[in-house]
Amino acid sequence: MSRDFGAELDNLTKQLGDLQQLVSQIVNDSSPKISRNQIVDKSSVLIEMNNNELELGEVFYSGQYRGEKWRYRWEPQERRVSQLMDLDGEKVAKVLAALGHKQRLDILRSVLKEPLSGSEIVERLNMGTTGQLYHHIKALLGADLLVQEERGGMYSLASHRALPLLLLLAATSDLLDTSDYMELAETRNNASAYLGNTQDGYDPHHLLWAVLENSILEHRAGFSSEVGIFLQGDGSITVSDNGRGIPVQVLPNTEKSRVQAVLTELSHFTNDSFVAPGGEKGINIAVVNALSQKLSIEVRREGKVFRQDYKHGIPQTGLLTVGVTKETGTSVTFLPDQEIFKSTFDRDIVAKRIPEIFATYPDLTIHFH
């Protein structure tokens, strides 16, 4: 009996087509409909919803944690976002304030890893005495955050509190940079503390002198011999040196680069900041960033060119690799905020300052364009 291979092949082709159609239908039915205009972040996707899907949605979470002596496991949990939005604001603030106490938070994190005695907690946290410890322990026990074994035994985190605490720490890690941004905003609101009180308006040249101070420090350390100052057509100004370039590595336990830390943390290099006449606080490059309408930094080191853009001190991009180079150094371009500074850079004032710097640092060449 002869076989009709053509008919069999046609039948197989049809079955394969039916299977592909079925798989495609299953995928389309189960996949979220994502708009072409979706906003994609490194950790989230904004999905366009239909009119019948306008609920705020739910938050689902579960997990497990294995400590040195304990293991926690949680079944999937669900919280409606509408319920979270309606939580008592005063009580939420009290909870966050209570957990925001550094020593209490350190105690909770310590006993989360493994049960500890009171003396062990004192030793690990360098508290000095047990009196201070037990004041916090009493509050944490009363809040049902800690449990203690009978007869003065070990302290450990209440098992049903472990996941909420870990979730809170995880969320806080994504919000750490907001503390820097709040300080930058306060700097903008309190500009007189940095620029001095004056009836004639704030002098934008103070920002320039502060940026120049960074290049001078590189020269004093033996790593920079030239500085270029470029007055731009839009009123911004660029200071560029041939120093080492600000380090670009990511800081431990963060996603923040060293460059971003220098530009957003007011505590950096405070002792070496430029102090304006009448100013109460020194102006470092983070203050310049906060008081600028826009700022861009370019770092040349490790054979690459890195760039990052800011607005009012807030990063608008990540630290981008934009080129390769054999040079090293840092270039900062910034435009003073016109809501704070009513005047612009004066080329005569800048030109007059250069000989004064050269007189102090004769080996430093400064070009003004």
C-alpha span between 97 and 91 (Å, rounded): 10
Number of structural domains the chain divides into: 3
Query: CATH number for the domain including 275?
Result: 3.30.565.10
Judge if 153 and 203 occupy the same domain: no
pLDDT at residue 266 is higher than 70 = yes
**Of 330 and 87, which is predicted with more confidence?**
330
pLDDT digit string, tens, across residues 25-67? 655 554 444 343 343 444 555 555 555 444 678 888 888 877 6
* Helix (H/G/I), strand (E/B), else coil: 165: helix
Q: Is the distance from CB of 305 to CB of 328 less than 8 angstroms?
A: no
Residue 123 confidence (pLDDT): 87
Both tokens assigned to 7: 């008919």
Residue 270 confidence (pLDDT): 46
pLDDT at residue 268 is higher than 70 = no
- Average pLDDT, stretch 249-278? 80
Instruction: Specify the amino acid at residue 318.
Output: G
The rounded mean pLDDT for the chain is 84
Judge if 202 and 332 occupy the same domain: yes
Q: Is the distance from CB of 315 to CB of 212 less than 8 angstroms?
A: no
Residue 233 confidence (pLDDT): 93
Domain assignment present for 278: yes
- Average pLDDT, stretch 322-351? 95
Residue 31 confidence (pLDDT): 45
Q: How confident is the model at residue 201 (pLDDT cuts 50, 70, 90)?
A: confident
- Average pLDDT, stretch 199-224? 92
Instruction: Specify the amino acid at residue 57.
Output: G
Domain assignment present for 52: no
C-alpha span between 123 and 137 (Å, rounded): 15
pLDDT digit string, tens, across residues 8-22? 666 666 666 666 666
Residue 276 confidence (pLDDT): 84
Domain assignment present for 40: no
Beta bridge partners of 365: 226
**Of 189 and 269, which is predicted with more confidence?**
189
Judge if 363 and 257 occupy the same domain: yes
Domain end among 174, 193, 218: 174
Judge if 359 and 224 occupy the same domain: yes
Domain end among 124, 146, 174: 174
Residue 13 confidence (pLDDT): 67
Query: CATH number for the domain including 156?
Result: 1.10.10.10
Residue 164 confidence (pLDDT): 86
Judge if 245 and 345 occupy the same domain: yes
Residue 34 confidence (pLDDT): 39
Residue 54 confidence (pLDDT): 47
C-alpha span between 272 and 215 (Å, rounded): 12
pTM for the complete prediction?
Answer: 0.69
Domain assignment present for 44: no
Q: Is the distance from CB of 284 to CB of 210 less than 8 angstroms?
A: yes
Judge if 188 and 258 occupy the same domain: yes
Residue 47 confidence (pLDDT): 55
C-alpha span between 322 and 308 (Å, rounded): 10
**Of 203 and 64, which is predicted with more confidence?**
203
* Helix (H/G/I), strand (E/B), else coil: 152: coil
C-alpha span between 227 and 216 (Å, rounded): 9
pLDDT digit string, tens, across residues 143-195? 888 998 876 788 988 888 888 888 888 888 878 778 888 889 999 999 999 99
Q: Are strands 320-324 and 155-157 parallel, antiparallel or unpaired?
A: unpaired
pLDDT digit string, tens, across residues 111-126? 888 888 888 888 888 8
